[in-house]
Structure 1
Amino acid sequence: MASTFFRRIAKATPVSFAGEPRSTFGAIAAVTGGISYLYYYNSPNLAHLEEVKVEGSPKVALNPDKWIEFKLQDTARVSHNTHLFRFSFDPAAKLGLDIASCIITRAPIGQDAEGKTKYVVRPYTPISDPDSKGYFDLLIKVYPEGKMSQHFATLKSGDVVEVKGPIEKLRYSPNMKKHIGMIAGGTGITPMLQVIEAILKNTDDNTQVSLLYANVSPDDILLKQKLDFLAASHPNLKIFYTVDNPSKNWKGGSGYISKDMVVKGLPGPSDDTLILVCGPPGMMKHISGDKAKDRSQGELTGLLKEAGYTEEMVYKF
């Protein structure tokens, strides 16, 4: 059972979890947009943290070639269908996550005809600072038919989850572009936050960031307090919210992200501009087109193409 303090932290994110130094959160954890369920059979490549120590190198918890068990420390409810999960490991080690990358999780879903264990596998993006030692945090939306998210919802303190990674998505480097625009839908905010936090905590990074964030309702905006705090304290971050079902006192945008929102809210097409996109399949099709079947970037379509951006100016998570 999460403590009262832990529950409070889940709602007011500029502060940290109980027992940790005060710090802002990293990126929100979420399913990387558009990746289907993958099923893996029982693998001998399961290790514990102490098996992946490298002599002379900083100790890291992740291993890209082996499944590592991480123990659940605590949980908290963030919204009506979203939960925060903290996993612990050797306090002397770092997770070993790069910007921008995700981890892969797996959970058993039964056995095949030969009695071998089958797994459902899903990627998630930790919200905690990559430099944090001894723990990482995942923010996960629980879907009624979501095999992995339903598994997470049943976890209790002390249970373990198998993790592999990191899996690099976009290789970010400071000042790689003058202006980065972002379009996120729902839990697609997570890789955006990972990049945003990397930019804002680096005083030598002068990148300007503009975010368009779409959700069903104001109550579905994950970690809005966190986002507002970052925007209020960093002049190089601008955020515009839009929702399908606005409340009576809602002061943001209404409806799907439109071409007008893109033109007014994002940097214009330029060699010094990069637009990042992540969200559910329907939104991806509307904004940029989805990735190709082989998970490469695929053809650029949708609003971004109409607005004059090229494939070199857009990255789909």
Structure 2
Amino acid sequence: MASFFRRLARATPIAFGAQTKSVSRLRLGAGAAISAGVSSYYLLSSTDVAYLDQLSEDAAPKVALNPDKWLKFKLQEKAQASHNSQLFRFSFDPDVKLGLDVASCLITRAPTGQDPEGKTKYVIRPYTPISDPNSKGYFDLLIKVYPEGKMSQHFASLKPGDEVEVKGPIQKLRYNPNMKKHIGMIAGGTGITPMLQVIDAIVKNPDDNTQVSLLYANVSPDDILLKKKLDMLASSNPNLKVFYTVDHPTEDWLGGKGYISKEMVVKGLPSPSYDTLILVCGPPGMMQHISGDKAKDYSQGELTGVLKELGYTEEMVYKF
């Protein structure tokens, strides 16, 4: 298991949850089943109906997350994903799903001491799992470890068997298959995680024909997270295009150079349209340059920056 997870951190292969469009899907005769169920209902006594209600509750899918309660999840394993990022796998009941929709995140917290009244103080940060939302028994977080980052340093200090308190999910963009003809994505650093959640949902659904174009910016080639997985997904799914750009390219670098520019957006992303959606996630400087940041109340806020200058409207852009 340990060696497998370390290979996973380096390559992050398609086995992490994505499948190609060749997967077939069986369709059930839902209409007939509903009709039969309604007919049967009127033949049952009130006691039978109460019993069936209980069965329905028992059959409802159980999830590991709770939006109103902090729960502890145990670290199963961690591995180095890049020179400054780590991959963490947390485990729970193997018969239960995590309880995430696409696209949503969870919230983590860690104690940082006590206030003057003796109450525990916490640092709280949101993270988007990169594992398949339908996976049972585990979830994976990809976290960049900052020298002064209280939460990321806390994660870096964890050992297998240690626990982290988690609450959620927190719904972000509610993605529905084919909701837009073309989705453009602009990501920087660990801002790739919500993009990957949406990409995985699209490529594993054979009925989803959404075209996806991703511009992914990083400091250097060594900082590009999940590159092998993204490259494999792009090579096996013709509806996914990926373009990389870095601030400090190496001599053998063949991708883009510098910050994401107007020219890159025009060349690599869908044009402004009612059937276009642009997703943006990255560090504050990138957000200001591309779209403007969210408002103080965490609403989407005013659209500014490169996207506004190129004619996109607030309805065409979503900021994670």
TM-score between both structures, scaled by the size of structure 2 = 0.86
Q: Give the structure 1 partner of residue 165 of structure 2.
A: 162
Aligned with residue 220 of structure 1, among 219, 223, 227: 223
Q: Give the structure 2 partner of residue 127 of structure 1.
A: 130
* Residue-by-residue CA offset, 1:192-214 (whole Å, 9 max, x unaligned): 00000000000000000000000
Counterpart Cα distance in 2 of 1:141 and 1:251: 25
Aligned with residue 296 of structure 2, among 293, 297, 307: 293
1:259 aligns with 2:258: no
8 Å contact from structure 1 (residues 140, 149) kept in 2: yes
8 Å contact from structure 1 (residues 9, 15) kept in 2: no
Counterpart Cα distance in 2 of 1:15 and 1:271: 32
Counterpart Cα distance in 1 of 2:304 and 2:77: 42
Q: Give the structure 1 partner of residue 13 of structure 2.
A: 14
1:174 aligns with 2:185: no
Cα deviation, residue 88, structure 1: 0.4
8 Å contact from structure 2 (residues 293, 301) kept in 1: yes
- 2:59 alignment partner, SS class: coil
Q: Give the structure 2 partner of residue 203 of structure 1.
A: 206
Structure 1 segments unaligned to the other structure (5+ residues): 17-21, 26-53
8 Å contact from structure 1 (residues 127, 137) kept in 2: yes
Q: Which runs of 4+ in 1 moved over 6 A?
A: none
8 Å contact from structure 1 (residues 214, 256) kept in 2: yes
* Residue-by-residue CA offset, 1:80-123 (whole Å, 9 max, x unaligned): 11011100000110000000000000000000111111110000
Q: Give the structure 2 partner of residue 108 of structure 1.
A: 111
* Residue-by-residue CA offset, 1:41-64 (whole Å, 9 max, x unaligned): xxxxxxxxxxxxx64311100000
- 1:156 alignment partner, SS class: coil
Cα deviation, residue 3, structure 1: 2.9
Q: Give the structure 2 partner of residue 3 of structure 1.
A: 2
Q: How does 1:1-317 map to 2 (within 5 A)?
A: 3-14=2-13, 16=15, 23-24=17-18, 55-317=58-320
* Residue-by-residue CA offset, 1:197-239 (whole Å, 9 max, x unaligned): 0000000000000000000000000010000000000000001
- 1:206 alignment partner, SS class: coil
Residue-pair matches, total: 283
Identity %: 80
Counterpart Cα distance in 1 of 2:14 and 2:207: 24
- 2:95 alignment partner, SS class: coil
Quick one: structure 1 residues 97 and 156, their matched pair in 2 at CA, closer, same or farther if it must change by over 3 Å? same
8 Å contact from structure 1 (residues 13, 24) kept in 2: no
The residue type paired with residue 13 of structure 1 is T
- 1:162 alignment partner, SS class: strand
RMSD of the TM alignment (CA)? Answer: 1.3
Q: Which structure's residues are more often helix, by fraction?
A: 2
